[in-house]
Structure 1
């Protein structure tokens, strides 16, 4: 929900077990140098065993669903989608994915099961004005967007990632979810967790700071099997 920022903007504290077996708390007061990287960098600084989450009021009804676009016709989706979202009301959130086409009556039978672009908008503002924010997203071949209870919208993708399947979904956001960047130091994930790629120049200073935190909390790089940040990448101390 862009309306309330990214998930990490609503994470007030974490409890984690360090590589030397200690249980520590990390928040803006306790271990703040550890808390900020935990909020989105994916650098494996410890094993988080509990976290707080700041709940927000949503609903009871929202406008949500799926917009299906042929993968062969990208012109149906605005090429400046980040700009469209930047101008959209903050009540509008959006997910995008390439997935097999569902067996919908509005889609030709030969398209069923073939890759399509799916946009998943969720508008948590006034139902009567939601279409003003959703219509600029493009001209889909199938529109499954409607007013529905928030609890129903929040379970739309349960079939994709059912409970107990232990899935990991990785992606990015081409537009800011908050007016100012969140504290986490985001970076481009490496092509393989065991062979981290050099960070882009635009995030190299942040990468160095993350390396310093890694050197302090996991100097032997024991936790390295996910988006690794090595202790050797620490920024030099001046």
Structure 2
């Protein structure tokens, strides 16, 4: 397992999580002026270390993939969703391995144990408070999109106050594609299904939030690139500085 400093200037490797956590904690306190309390830094390092041990899925991109089958996450697919996030989603980026796509719903806040985030998201899926889709390729989950109502996202609370009511908008907040399936059209297939289903879910609009300044890396594209929304006939609705709200009529 390994931990990399959030500033990218130190990487610690080893078999013992406790030693890794303390080594990274010592580095951060010695090398960086961070206002976070000690317990929160250690918890972040622990979440990272646990994810680096847990996320053991393949990291090599496949040259070709099979047909992509996109389906909504229902009760009988939660175990597949868990396997994807537990093992396959972030083997190359374990710093994100504790997110479980809960952040759009909760917004920024103190670090929490990954098991708590995992349990909270499972309850949201079961209750229908979070709506998302899985992309299956050759029987294995290769991708996910969170396509909940914007009214459920604390991250976007107060967005576009003169625009449509948040409970009438499906917000496409996150795409997660496992390394073997990236750049094979998985996000395109996921977004296509979201758009196709949105009117049937009672939504009037569908939105995305692509970043305005992306570095071109896979991790940086978690909101989806602007070109993806352009291809599905979304149009710019509001420039928020860090990102642009892209919107389309759900019934068109």
Give the number of the structure with larger relative contact order, counting CA–CA contacts within 8 Å between residues 6 or more apart. 1
Q: TM-score range by the shorter chain?
A: under 0.3
Greater gyration radius = 1
Give 1 or 2: higher helix fraction. 2
Q: TM-score scaled to structure 1, two decimals? A: 0.25
Q: TM-score scaled to structure 2, two decimals? A: 0.24
